[in-house]
């Protein structure tokens, strides 16, 4: 959403309108636009109806927009078209943000509620918001029928495992990769389960589990190969680049500059970690 300040859109109502699809009350157009934007991944087609149009007209002093939306509903316009109309008329977002939200609505139009929520979790995971991604995935698992949609259920378990692995909680990651594999026997889930298991269990315990469960030796070898490749790979990240620059200061004898740069880098990395975990 645009970061500049702007006047409140329409009126501030003393009576709330309950957006049942999102489970929240709104009192203004600003709030409606905000919830449309941050929840674009999970909006359902029945979110914008004549009741909302009446509320906008009678409580928010947005009669022209309400009339336009009522006409669009009658003509059978899509949710994406109506959300875009709201965001354009209110000027709540800039053109780039509106295009992004419109594409999200188009991409997710045919998805089930659970699948839409999974997409939201996937985006949180890609944005390095691991605890929030796990929270989203856990909610979907709580409302999803494993027997009716086993592939979706398994893929969510797998992604929870990925989130825990990226937080270096490998015991938890192994647990979820194993659950995912037990449902659909995904090779990827099994390999990552064995990787996490090998990193957390003693070798004797690891070997015992592999033999007991009759896991394919080729898969066990692939897990070992992944660990070996990770150990031998050159780390190419901003953190590694920064650390190389800092070590150059030390190696060149600039000790005071070395410690000063190290303190700054550590503080930045701590702040980044806190943002990721919040």
38-47, 87-96, 151-160, 236-245: segment of lowest average pLDDT: 236-245
Total domains present in the chain = 3
φ/ψ of residue 18, rounded to 5: -90, 115
Task: Kindly state whether residues 130 and 67 are assigned to the same domain.
Answer: no
For residue 180, pLDDT over 70 is answered with yes
39 in any annotated domain: yes
Tell me, what DSSP letter sits at residue 145? -
* Range with top average pLDDT, 20-24, 42-46, 72-76: 72-76
In a domain, 142, yes or no: yes
Considering the domain architecture, whether residues 62 and 26 belong to the same structural domain is answered as yes
Query: Is 258 a residue whose pLDDT tops 50?
Result: yes
What range defines the domain where residue 159 resides? 113-232
> At which of 41, 75, 108 does a domain end?
108
Which residues pair with residue 17 across a beta bridge? 26
Pair 69, 127 in one domain: no
Whether 67 has a pLDDT exceeding 50, the answer reads: yes
190 falls within a domain: yes
Same domain for 149 and 98, yes or no, is: no
CATH of the domain at 163: 1.25.40.10
Look at residue 176 and tell me if it is in a domain.
Answer: yes
Average pLDDT, the chain: 85
Provide the percentage of residues in the chain whose pLDDT is more than 90.
Answer: 46
- The answer to whether residue 74 is domain-embedded is yes
pLDDT surpasses 60 at 40: yes
In angstroms, rounded to a whole number, what is the distance separating the alpha carbons of residues 49 and 273? 42
User: Could you report the per-residue pLDDT of 142-171, keeping only the tens digit for each?
Assistant: 999 999 999 999 999 999 999 999 888 999
149 domain residue, yes or no: yes
Q: Which residues contact 171 (CB under 8 A, 6 or more apart)?
A: 196, 200
The closest of 73, 76, 80, 33 to 51, measured between CA atoms, is: 73
Average pLDDT on 166-189 reads 94
Do 117 and 226 fall within a single domain?
A: yes
- Any domain includes 5: no
The more confident residue out of 124 and 277 is 124
In a domain, 28, yes or no: yes
């Amino acid at each position: 959403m645009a970061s500049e300040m702007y006047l409140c859109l329409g009126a501030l109502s003393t009576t709330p309108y309950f957006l049942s699809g999102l489970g929240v009350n709104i009192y203004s157009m600003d709030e409606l636009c905000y919830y449309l934007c941050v929840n674009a991944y999970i909006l359902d087609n029945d979110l914008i109806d004549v009741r909302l149009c009446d509320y906008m007209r009678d409580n928010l002093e947005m009669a022209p927009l309400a009339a336009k939306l009522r006409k669009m509903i009658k003509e059978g316009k899509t949710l994406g078209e109506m959300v875009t109309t709201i965001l354009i008329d209110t000027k709540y977002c800039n053109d780039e943000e509106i295009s992004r939200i419109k594409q999200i609505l188009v991409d997710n139009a045919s998805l089930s509620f659970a699948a839409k929520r999974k997409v939201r979790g996937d985006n949180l995971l890609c944005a390095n918001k691991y605890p929030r991604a796990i929270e989203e995935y856990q909610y979907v698992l709580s409302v999803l029928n494993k027997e009716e949609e086993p592939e979706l259920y398994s893929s969510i378990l797998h992604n929870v495992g990925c989130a825990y692995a990226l937080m270096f909680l490998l015991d938890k990651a192994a647990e979820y990769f194993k659950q995912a594999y037990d449902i659909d026997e995904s090779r990827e889930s099994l390999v990552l389960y064995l990787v996490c298991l090998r990193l957390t269990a003693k070798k004797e315990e690891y070997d015992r589990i592999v033999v007991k469960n009759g896991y394919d030796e080729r898969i066990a070898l692939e897990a070992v190969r992944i660990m070996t490749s990770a150990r031998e790979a050159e780390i190419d990240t901003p953190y590694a680049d920064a650390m190389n620059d800092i070590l150059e200061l030390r190696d060149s004898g600039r000790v005071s500059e070395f410690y000063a740069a190290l303190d700054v880098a550590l503080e930045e990395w701590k702040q980044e970690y806190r943002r990721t975990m919040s």
